[in-house]
Structure 1
Amino acid sequence: MRDLAKTLTYGTLHFTVGFAVVYALTGEVAIAAGVALIEPAINTVVFYFHEKAWARYPAKALGRFGFRMPQQMA
């Protein structure tokens, strides 16, 4: 449930930023709304599966790939 809540808030934030950037560049509400609906919608779905993939691996296991967690850096 937490992943879903994070995904929805991320999508809302992404939509807002996308709309603002495209509107600032074009000055067109219709273009900004179109881009802001399509790109963040796809990215939000990708983010959800990205979170699920990362949740499968404990922080310890990431060391095999050369990642160091903050507590390991000290």
Structure 2
Amino acid sequence: MSTEISVAEMRAAHKRTAPFLHNTPIMSSENINEKVGVPVLFKCEHLQKTGSFKVRGALNSAVLAKELKAKGVVS
């Protein structure tokens, strides 16, 4: 089993989870950028309904499991 995720898989996960999530901002800090010498961007996932970035993976797994269950799974 490959652990690599394709762009198509990322887009599919986004499509599955988007209706349930907030669009969170991406911010930058001039102070931090100057200290480290490169631009640093912060994705503010703490502004999600749950206050955590972890909701994306958990929600994707739950929605995906529901879709697979509806199709039927054989192992």
Under a length normalisation based on structure 2, what TM-score does the superposition of the two structures give? 0.35
Q: TM-score, with normalisation over the residues of structure 1?
A: 0.35
Q: Which has the higher strand share?
A: 2
The structure with the largest helix share of the pair is 1
